Structure 1
């Protein structure tokens, strides 16, 4: 989720040298984003390795679906109760209180931290006690031993709710202090723990484990080890917050704190989160049923929730590294601008962030679509995941990749609404998104063979963001007196035109490698590398010919930094 900062501060909380104003400069935002991008890349790379290890250990069929469904539920519950409030309510609230309170918002933070600890502990305990009911809700397609394995794992994994929620709050508090490093580096520790757990599972268990032959000790290793990874991440964030000078003093005197007023605006955000989780509930049930049917009907591939989740993790990698880094720095600045009524600056910040993100996301999304199958085979086809399983992940990834740009634009639009303290509009838009996604997902389940259902679900998910950004863009344009739409559209069109020669070259390279080397490693690894290098040269050349201004700005910034 997006994070938050109001103004530059040193370790003691006082304004530091080089602190940027609420409006900030383009270079300052991009430099801060670059710092975050390094940490985010480390986090995502280790997360990528974690996914590879888990895929090799558990596969993408019944056991993999059991683990991934059980491990998804704590994050769903956290989204419903905590995480969704961060960008929309808590972050703007902390920004305002740090600017307006005589103590810089310290008392407010103590109250908020106390309330979060109590709430998260209670919710975690209730969730662990309700593990079977939650699994039946999200995985109606599980039966027999697969359900028993998922419930056993969930008893450990649902404890993560406490640590996930607390990590989100601490990250927001760190970002209000202009501390972006720890929130993007702490997940690396979590990933390393889970990688170790996955490798230990591979060492103690044979490949091809199923719900019928996996032992309780092996399941305990998976469940307890995964939960310990999130606990380690939270401890690292607590230490980082402590170093900023924050000392938690438990307070439950919430009356008059302003938190109640802020949370009253969360009603619409709660509706938004519930609506999106209804969409995920549909996805989960359809995907788990399709995965079970695919195995039972002899298709021989993992085509359920695990395949969908692994494709989605690869899909989000460029968005997380590029767009999230820019958005994280932009949101607090945009919140301050909206609070002061500086709508022109809000519009300019939105336009600039979108166009700079698109400079990378457009060619990346097209390259991913071309090489999705080859990349998935290289990444996942080992251990308990067969080449056919990996191929199916690649098909899902190819469909998702075509929706990367609409997905990113929509997420950025949501941040503009949140900066304006408007949670009602995103909630209403989400209803339309889920209607599109849900309808297409159900159609996919009814019309497609089990091994291709998740491909249809992925297509419906991406199309829902196209409809969502059209609605959101229309509303924002009316409120802000325009969204710099002509400039944004012009940039997007030129970027796609610049990418056209690169796409053609990428397809040609893949054809040549396949003809020369067949479907082996030389093609699966060599074609993406050669095609991407050639495509990058062609894209940059075409972008310069088309005089895409964002490219010149980025090149100028890089040269200035290297010249120092």
Structure 2
């Protein structure tokens, strides 16, 4: 799973870099990225949280009760999802202008018109996104995790080709005021086509798992009520989090408009968006893989009332995630400028634009460990079929995020607003992790805190040799070659590799068992290794 996710995220990196080279980080990119966020927002609002929090635990429990009933229940849920997705997609197409008013209120003129057009076109992705996610959830309940991790690679390849084609057919700097109909259709066709291909790629694995879709809506008495009672809280959670996202997106877009008016460069939503994509990489590679594998197992243990095993699952997952996520956060904070310059300072994006992304990324790095812990805690609640508690916790998280974002917008210079918003996100994730820990500690009769914090402490000690080596490498190469793409690339390669080896060495000397588990797991997957 982690290897598949790594391939997905590496190609996702390439996709992001290609889009930045093709569209830049200014008005055109803000219109494209804001509009392309809408399908994911609508999906999250109306289905995404339900899939994570409701569908997987319910299917697992139905199968535990009776395999034949579980199979029919799965068919009914899938049919309901397909019909709902079709209706959601049609509504989203019609509401394109409304979404842009919500998330890009500061846009006007050609930029707004283009964003609205993109929003209508990109809304078609909602259907494919939802079917893909539902198919992935079914595969997860059947303990088939590979295909959902690899399918996004196809999407990323299509987008990369689309961005390359856009660069080839474009001359000069393209903006909302001079983009052609052909260029618009190229971007829209590639974006939608990539998501459609990602969805179709899951069907062979679905069939291989024994799933055959036969449309049926013969829900038994009480089934829809059980889904609804859990879904309403899940929906409330997503609505609350999307309120926070809407505020931060509006403020970031407003900062971008002010930045262009003040001739400060591109300091709006797109740099924030690109930094967030980088920030999520370590969590996606290891965190999502661990969480996806743990959710069905925790659901089984919770269904059997074995809360001690749920607690052990959480502790093992959190400690295993931290082995990778903590050094990744350290490298992001230290080498953020090198990462951004190497990936983004190409095409229509200057080194100065890349440095803005780097500043946001370095603030996001602070959030990486608490963010991963908070996400894993949410899955513990979902495994116990509790969607209400995460909703209440989200109120504190979103309130913190919004308060910090508004404060940053009011008091910081225009070119630092998105950096401040990223800092607010980091604080909000820390609040979420703290609140989740306190509630779960009471619910589970403990959180295996001594072992968790002992592991954290040992890994924090092992992190310092990595930081020292990476910093020294960066300083030497900057003095020898000078700041730029070459020195940045060498800093990343040498600093990450050498620092990573030192981190592993010191972690083993400190007897961090999770590091040895990770090494053994990877070695077992290599040619000639023991599985």
Post-superposition offset of 1:450: 1.6
Describe the superposition over 1:314-349 as per-residue Cα deviations: whole angstroms up to 9, x where unpaired.
Answer: 111111111111111111000000110111111111
In the alignment of these two chains, the number of paired residues is 528
* C-alpha distance in 2 between matches for 1:548 and 1:230: 40
After TM superposition, give the deviation of residue 454 of structure 1 in Å: 0.7
Residue number in structure 1 paired with 2:322: 358
- Pick from 284, 287, 294 the counterpart of residue 330 of structure 1: 294
- Greater Cα shift, 473-482 or 506-515: 506-515
Whether 1:168 aligns to 2:143 is: no
Q: Tell me how far apart the structure 1 counterparts of residues 357 and 76 of structure 2 sit (CA, whole Å).
A: 45
Gaps of 5+ in 2: none
Q: In structure 2, what is the Cα distance between the partners aligned to 1:104 and 1:246?
A: 14
Instruction: State whether structure 2 residue 191 is matched by structure 1 residue 226.
Output: yes
Question: How far apart, in 1, do the equivalents of 2:425 and 2:501 lie?
Answer: 32
1:188: which partner in 2? 153
Q: 2:341 touches 2:484 (CA, 8 Å); kept in 1?
A: no
Q: Distance in 2 between matches of 1:554 and 1:394?
A: 29
* Aligned match of 2:240: 275
Residue 259 (structure 2) pairs with residue 294 (structure 1)? yes
Q: Distance in 2 between matches of 1:381 and 1:207?
A: 17
Q: Mean Cα displacement is larger for which, 95-104 or 378-387?
A: 95-104
Q: Look up the SS of the partner of 1:401 in the other structure.
A: helix
* C-alpha separation in 1, matches of 2:523 and 2:211: 38
Asked if residue 469 in structure 1 is aligned to residue 433 in structure 2, the reply is: yes
Q: Distance in 2 between matches of 1:554 and 1:378?
A: 29
CA deviation after TM superposition for structure 1 residue 268, in Å: 1.2
1:11 counterpart residue number = none
Match of residue 480, structure 1, among 437, 444, 447? 444
Aligned in 2, Cα 1:544/1:152: closer, same or farther, shift over 3 Å? Answer: same
Mapped to 1, the partners of 2:420 and 2:184 lie a distance apart of 32
Structure 1 unaligned spans of 5+: 1-35
Query: What is the deviation of 1:207?
Result: 4.4
Match of 2:84 among 108, 111, 119: 119
> What SS does structure 1 have at the residue aligned with 2:346?
coil
Q: Which residue pairs with 1:21 in the alignment?
A: none
Residues 35-57 of structure 1: CA deviation (Å, up to 9, x unaligned): x1111111111111111111111
1:537 CA displacement: 2.7
Q: Which residue of 2 aligns with 1:422?
A: 386
Are residues 259 and 448 of structure 1, via their aligned partners in 2, closer, same or farther at CA, if it must alter by over 3 Å?
same
1:545 maps onto 2:509 in alignment: yes
Cα distance in 2, alignment partners of residues 104 and 377 from structure 1: 54
| Residue among 220, 225, 244 paired with 1:260 | 225
Deviation per residue, 1:258-305 (Å, 9 max, x gap): 2331221111111110010001001110000001111111012x2111
- In structure 1, distance between residues paired with 2:167 and 2:114: 18
SS where residue 364 of structure 1 aligns? helix
Residue equivalent to 1:81: 46
Is the contact between residue 57 and residue 207 of structure 1 (CA under 8 Å) also seen in structure 2? Answer: no
Cα displacement (A) at 1:218? 0.7
Using the TM superposition, give the Cα deviation of residue 459 of structure 1 relative to its aligned residue in structure 2, in angstroms: 0.7
8 Å CA contact 2:302–2:383 kept in 1: the answer is: yes
- Compared CA separation, residues 563 and 163, structure 1 to 2 (3 A): closer
Question: 1:482-561 to 2 correspondence within 5 Å?
Answer: 482-557=446-521
Match of 1:25 in 2: none
From the superposition, tell whether residues 253 and 296 of structure 1 become closer, same or farther in structure 2 (CA, over 3 Å).
Answer: same
Which residue of structure 2 lines up, in the alignment, with residue 303 of structure 1?
267
